[in-house]
Amino acid sequence: MIAGRYAPSPSGRMHLGNLMCCLLAWLSAKSKDGQVLLRIEDLDTQRCPRVFADAIIDDLAWLGLAADGPQLPVYQSERAEIYQRYYDILDRRGLVYPCFCSRSQLHAASAPHRSDGQVVYAGTCRGLTPAEVAERCKIRAPAWRVQVPDETISFTDGHMGMYEENLARDCGDFYLRRADGVFAYQLAVVVDDALMGVTEVVRGSDLLSSTPRQLWLYRELGLTPPTFYHLPLLLAPDGRRLSKRDGDQSLENLRARYSAEEIIGKLAFACGLQATPRPVTPQELAADFDWAKVPKNDIVLPESMF
Ligand code: GLU
């Protein structure tokens, strides 16, 4: 049984980019008679209040894209004990270490920057002695990183094709846990997708470079990875990335101006799924959905579409 998923971070209402991701996750699963599960990625409870999660659930139902599965979605904010168990597996193997670097130290370090603007961690705190760790703990609580091997992880993305990264060179030791105790996205997403039985992950290409790290975690934790499909990004007509701050493109505003079929129809046209922006239901699109229709390059929304 195919199981896709939505994994929204409810730090605001959905925008069109989030919606494109949900639409394609739904179509990819449903066109293969699969299910779509919902997980609310609210690890950062300060930034992700329940009201936004509730609004996303309501928006998905209104659009005809309601999730399947249990009545209640999985909330990451309620799963710290589960993440702890998997964190402990890596910790027991001596792969986890405390990092005391501040944000400014990380940026000042001479480590190379990745193409996505992230800093490759130089391993500054990897070799600290127990005495040094104890001394620094008196000054600040550390975050926790996992030590990655000098290994190239490659995989074939269902949409983007072959992708690879060398963990040590292109990524560096990455966070498993923040200084305030909150587990990091990279760990939570792997544990959750595996435990929820997700077989395919559809998400934006901004997360393509997280995938080798996640595949490595799957292997180290003895979990089965899903198939990945990374989508092109949806850009505003002026070429900017859409963000939750773009009020015009939020579901709240779109719902006031268009019907669900109109929104789905325009979006389906923008991402190559139909020849005109005519109103359409997700079911109609599922009938002849094919990943080959979806572009690989970023999609710029036509000027007067929304
Ligand atoms: N929560 C992430 C987001 O809303 C998605 C993470 C994922 O799909 O792996 O961008």
One domain for residues 164 and 199: no
Among residues 134, 158, 185, the one where a domain terminates is 185
Please list the pLDDT of the chain residue by residue as tens digits (306 residues): 999 999 999 999 999 999 999 999 999 999 999 999 999 999 999 999 999 999 999 999 999 999 998 778 999 999 999 999 999 999 999 999 999 998 888 877 656 666 666 789 989 999 999 999 999 999 999 999 999 999 999 999 999 999 999 999 999 999 999 999 999 999 999 999 999 999 999 999 999 999 999 999 999 999 999 999 999 999 988 888 887 666 668 899 999 999 999 999 999 999 999 999 999 999 999 999 999 999 999 999 988 888
Cα 66 to the chain's mean position, in Å? 19
**Residue 293 CB-half CA count within 13 A:** 16
Instruction: Please state the atom number of ligand 1 nearest to the C-alpha of residue 201.
Output: 8
- Is 7 close to ligand 1, i.e. is its CB under 6 Å away? yes
Question: Are residue 73 and residue 203 in the same domain, yes or no?
Answer: yes
In whole angstroms, give the CA distance from residue 86 to residue 10.
Answer: 24
* 40, β-bridge pairs: 75
Q: What is the CATH number of the domain that holds 158?
A: 3.90.800.10
Enter the tokens of residue 157.
Answer: 């993305």
Closest CA to 223 of 38, 96, 89: 89
Residue 59 inside a domain? The answer is yes
Q: Is residue 190 part of a domain?
A: no
Give residues with Cβ within 8 angstroms of 55, minimum separation 6: 10, 13, 251, 252
Structural domain includes residue 305:
no
State residue 303's pLDDT score. Answer: 86
Q: What is the DSSP string of 49-63?
A: -HHHHHHHHHHHHHH
- Residue 237 CA, ligand 1 centroid: distance in Å: 23
The CB of 40 under 6 Å from ligand 1? The reply is no
Bridge partners of residue 164, in order along the sequence: 154
- The answer to whether residues 61 and 208 belong to one domain is yes
Are 67 and 85 in the same domain?
no
Alpha carbon distance 55, 262 (integer Å): 20
In a domain, 231, yes or no: yes
Residue with the smallest CA separation from ligand 1 atom 6 is: 7
Between the CA of 136 and the centroid of ligand 1 the distance, in Å, is: 33
Domain hosting 13: range is: 3-78+195-300
CA 103 to chain centre: 22
- pLDDT score for 304: 84
Pairing of strands 3-6, 35-40: parallel
Instruction: Evaluate: CB of 210 within 6 angstroms of ligand 1.
Output: no
Q: How many helices (H) and strands (E) does the chain have?
A: 10, 12
CA distances from 264 to 204, 261, 269, 270, 300 (A): 18, 5, 9, 10, 16
Q: Could you tell me the distance, in angstroms and rounded to a whole number, from the CA of residue 127 to the centre of ligand 1?
A: 32
Task: Clarify whether residues 180 and 114 are in a common domain.
Answer: yes
The first and second tokens of residue 294, run together, are 């979806």
CB distance 8 to ligand 1 below 6 Å: yes
Kindly give the distance from the C-alpha atom of residue 204 to the centroid of ligand 1, in angstroms, as a whole number.
Answer: 8
Number of domains composing the chain = 2
DSSP 169: I
Give the three-state DSSP class for 16. helix
Residues 73, 215, single domain; the answer is yes
Q: State how far the Cα of 268 lies from the Cα of 276, in Å rounded to an integer.
A: 9
- Whether the Cβ atoms of residue 303 and residue 237 lie closer than 8 Å to each other: yes
Residues 6+ apart with CB under 8 A from 135: none
Whichever domain contains 208, its CATH number is 3.40.50.620
268/140 same-domain check: no
